[in-house]
Structure 1
């Protein structure tokens, strides 16, 4: 994760002549945090996509007198530290340009650029593709299926794409339209290559769980 403090113009000027002014991400005039986040997304998303990454999340939160802009990015090849640093500089430049155009007010931000953690729900086909080999738990209809993803973006039924999972030693294909939010299961002894015979940590085992009936 890269964290870059973004200082307001007055603070930079107070350091004296010749001080290097850092890029500033500032709150828009009017509107709440929701509207603010949408305006920031319109600036940040084109920068992220032009660099070949997907914008997986953008969040604005308070941290004392300063606010934090957290940008989550990902790609099929992952995101390394060099890419995070480059994206952080590019996003800072875009925000600085918007500030120069008068699009934002006078509130300073701290910019954080990071990749998704394992707790990120799997909702999009690209999320499943990027987690092939992982053990996941996912609601399917009225069941909870736990198994290892062995393939993604494959034909399942009537031309619809989905995933193949190893569930209790048996392959099962499920359409993307049937999958609820998947959750990656933490494994301490996940095998190299993430084959279907890997053991799960925390007591997680491949299988199908039916919902309990109310008494």
Structure 2
């Protein structure tokens, strides 16, 4: 969790925000991944980063924001107006835990392995500490298994092209892919 040092200027500390919001976000199927309280901003700002197995959409962000505001407003000083932002981690967040890979199911990822090589593939599954990715082979695609402990760095790649039907089959998704 990100925690700013110094005074929070009438706003709750990040740990208090997590304590206040955690159960409510969990009921909605999300977890509070990070909190930043920026009392130096004008107006002051509380940013809550939420993640879950279901991607956040605008309606969910609005619901979580309303719930967060109801829980946070009573513990802030009445004279301190603040901006509350509920957001998702974003695509630039490194994948560091099994849940991150699970939530990236079907997404294209760039992996840097501990031994120094790199590869790009589509997340098929993660199970028992092993990531299965779909990688391009000579004329087709194949599944490759990599121990999570062997991954030094992993990030989701922004992919504007549709995956092929074969890739979708291998990751266990159906739908219309490119031929």
TM-score > 0.5 by shorter chain: yes
Task: Evaluate the alpha carbon distance shift between residue 194 and residue 111 of structure 1 in structure 2; reply closer, same or farther with a 3 A threshold.
Answer: farther
Following the alignment from structure 1 to structure 2, what is the Cα–Cα distance between the partners of residues 115 and 86? 14
| Structure 2: distance between partners of 1:42 and 1:193 | 44
Mapped pair 1:55 → 2:32: yes
Q: Does 1:153 align with 2:126?
A: yes
Please say if 1:87 is aligned against 2:59. no
Partner of 2:162: 190
| Cα 1:87–1:192 shift into 2, 3 Å | farther
Could you tell me which residue of structure 1 aligns to residue 22 of structure 2? 45
Shift of 1:90: 0.6
Return the alpha-carbon distance in structure 1 between the equivalents of residues 78 and 6 of structure 2.
11
Q: Which residue is equivalent to 1:213?
A: none
Q: CA separation of 1:114/1:46 partners in 2, compared to 1, >3 Å: closer, same or farther? A: same
1:166 pairs, out of 134, 150, 154, with 134
Is this contact kept in 1: 2:121–2:134, CA < 8 A? yes
* Greater RCO, CA 8 A, separation 6+: 1
1:157-198: per-residue Cα shift (whole Å, max 9, x none)? Answer: xxx33211133424321122332341112223232669279x
Q: Secondary structure at the match of 1:73?
A: strand
Structure 1 stretches lacking a partner, 5+ long: 1-29, 155-159, 198-215
Per-residue deviation, residues 113-156 of structure 1 (Å, max 9, x unmatched): 122321121112111112122221222213243222342232xx
Q: Secondary structure at the match of 1:46?
A: helix
Which one has a bigger Cα radius of gyration? 1
Q: 1:188 to 1:153 in 2, by over 3 A?
A: closer
What is the match of residue 140 of structure 1?
Answer: 113
Which secondary structure does the structure 1 equivalent of 2:75 belong to? Answer: helix
Q: Distance in 2 between matches of 1:166 and 1:192?
A: 11
Q: CA deviation at 1:108?
A: 2.7
| TM-score relative to the length of structure 2 | 0.73
Residues 106 and 124 from structure 1, CA distance in 2 versus in 1: closer, same or farther, beyond 3 angstroms? Answer: farther
Checking the alignment, whether the CA contact within 8 Å between 1:150 and 1:196 is kept in structure 2 is no
Aligned residues: 158
| Residue ranges of structure 2 left out of the alignment (5+ in a row) | 170-179
Q: Assess if the C-alpha contact under 8 Å between 1:58 and 1:70 holds in 2.
A: yes
